[in-house]
Structure 1
Amino acid sequence: MTALIAATLALSASCGFAQGSDKPLRLVLPVGAGSGVDTIMRAATPSLTKALGGQAVVIENLPGAGGITGTSVVVRATPDGQTLGVVSNNHVVNPSVFKKMPFDAINDITPISVVGETPFVLVVNPKVPAKNAKELQALLKAKPDGYNYASSGNGTIIHLAGAMFMDAAGVDVRHIPYKGVGPMVADIIGGQVEMGVVALPAVQGQLKSGQLRAIGVMGSSRVPSLPDLPTIAEQGFPTVDVGGWFAVVGPAKMPPAEVKRLHAAIVAAFNTPETKEAMAKQENIIKPMTPEASAQYFKSEQERYAKLVKKANIVAD
């Protein structure tokens, strides 16, 4: 009997079966419940539990300070793979917009995987007489003081995405920061502000109803639900390329074997039919990166946004 048990365990190990832990995996989200990243991870959690051999996954929302509050908990955790976090663009933007940071955005984490991104679109109030990016550029150049662009807050990725287009278009348009995406979208619809960049899932209904008009996709490729909407880059602004990416990270100095195990589980979880269907409905583009590629991506993104923050003179509140 002992030999049989030993043989079974050896077979399981050789086949790469995940061994479930009695202790739940703590997954810290530095965003509020119902936000994009929260919706994504809750959809993927059942598949992630299976990929981890039955280990429970407990999501903990700790929003605040542009993601710094929740991520601070992750970087201080024991690097044993039992506490992970999910961060987005703001993680690498924050060092450029905040005067002081409680941790190093690059050296105090272990990247597990940049999982994918949510497309951003540039939208305008329908009364704005521009149907594409070139027409909008001409309009803004003709009346630079006549229009405003909104964001979800100073120094957010939504702010930087808007600044990226304005920089590429060579225009200087007044920025109006809001406290969140909801109020921002409401005021674009109401005409208090004329335009802004927003995650596509947040405005699908308003685009279909005609309350908002999409000028273009901010990323490098078109989206399936709007096949006739070109990217901003296609419309003559090749430097515009930004989307709302999200990544799973852990504390610094995690054991390589643990990083490999968790990366494999994340890839498997996002590759199940159930999760794929949920991601397609949410318009998310899933392309998991390796831990090594993710680490390089974090560095390059931090450098890219630092240049934009400096050029646009962006400072967080």
Structure 2
Amino acid sequence: MDDPGYDITDLEGIGSIGQYPFTLIVNPEYDHIEDIDDLVDAYEDGEFTQFAMQGIGHSTHVISFLLRDDFGMEWEEVVPYDGGGPTSEAVISDEVSVGIATATSAREPVEGGDLNVVANLSSEPTDVFPDLEPATELGYPDIDFVAMTTLALYAAPGTDEEQIETLTEALEEATQDEDVQDWSDETGNDVTYGDPESANQTLEETLDEIPDAVDLDNLQE
């Protein structure tokens, strides 16, 4: 909320702890929508005109424009909600019939029959929905830089190297803890340690690729 006094590009990586993909969710009344091809066709035919996402400026806002411009999902109105929970609730209630959710957050409502999940937007399979093919395998663009979320930790520029090393060692130990890995296996939440270099690379690639893919000035307006 406040100016930290440095640029985000100068952050120093501590490490990463895992990844999760975004998925496309549909109200279960529309059971004829079985995959992303069906969804793209439904938008083209005018069956759906809105798309629910998780807030102005959120990564799902960026994804919504990529879905429209690069996937052919021709929504007419993008509807922002205050986070993933409200977005899923909007789709469950059919306030907006189609939206976006992380694989892990969609799992419980899908198992309960309250949602259908029809697309994995990443290029990698997800253990949460192992039968859901990655969108790239169906011929859609690779948008992992925004559709595959990496959970990473960073320190402010100029942080003492010994402090970063201490935090990195603690992070590696925590991610490899037996109880944490058991939880990961049970829930499908990927918990995998990544070193500081991988965290820095993730930040650099994201900051390079998003402006090339989306007109951020227009998005902010």
AA of the residue aligned to 1:214: V
What TM-score comes out, normalization by structure 1 length? 0.62
Alignment correspondent of 1:172: 74
Q: Deviations over 1:155-187 (max 9, x none)?
A: 101222333333321243120111222222111
Partners of 2:103 and 2:126 within 8 A in 1: no
Measured in 1, the distance between the counterparts of 2:67 and 2:187 equals 24
Alignment correspondent of 1:127: 29
User: Residues 247-286 of structure 1 correspond to what in structure 2 (within 5 A)?
Assistant: 247-286=152-191
Q: Deviations over 1:162-216 (max 9, x none)?
A: 3333332124312011122222211111111121111122221211122211112
How far is the alpha carbon of 1:310 from its aligned partner?
0.7
Partners of 2:55 and 2:83 within 8 A in 1: yes
RMSD: 2.3
Measured in 1, the distance between the counterparts of 2:124 and 2:110 equals 19
What TM-score comes out, normalization by structure 2 length? 0.87
Consecutive unaligned residues of structure 2, counting only runs of 5 or more, are: none
User: Residues 1-317 of structure 1 correspond to what in structure 2 (within 5 A)?
Assistant: 68=1, 103-107=6-10, 109-128=11-30, 129-143=32-46, 146-173=48-75, 174-241=77-144, 242-310=147-215, 313-315=218-220
AA of the residue aligned to 1:161: I
Partners of 1:120 and 1:218 within 8 A in 2: yes
How far is the alpha carbon of 1:106 from its aligned partner?
1.3
Measured in 1, the distance between the counterparts of 2:95 and 2:82 equals 15
Measured in 2, the distance between the counterparts of 1:311 and 1:272 equals 40
* Partner SS for 1:119: strand
Measured in 1, the distance between the counterparts of 2:61 and 2:186 equals 25
Measured in 1, the distance between the counterparts of 2:90 and 2:166 equals 45
Higher relative contact order, structure no. (Cα contacts within 8 Å, ≥ 6 residues apart) = 2
Measured in 2, the distance between the counterparts of 1:275 and 1:137 equals 38
How far is the alpha carbon of 1:311 from its aligned partner?
6.8
AA of the residue aligned to 1:148: Q
Consecutive unaligned residues of structure 1, counting only runs of 5 or more, are: 1-67, 76-101
Q: Deviations over 1:22-73 (max 9, x none)?
A: xxxxxxxxxxxxxxxxxxxxxxxxxxxxxxxxxxxxxxxxxxxxxx45xx6x
Measured in 2, the distance between the counterparts of 1:188 and 1:103 equals 39
AA of the residue aligned to 2:36: A
| 1:288–1:295 CA distance, 2 compared to 1 (3 A) | same
Looking at CA atoms only, which structure, 1 or 2, has the larger radius of gyration? 1
* Partner SS for 1:247: strand
AA of the residue aligned to 1:211: D
* Partner SS for 1:114: strand
Percent identical pairs in the alignment equals: 20
Partners of 2:20 and 2:149 within 8 A in 1: yes
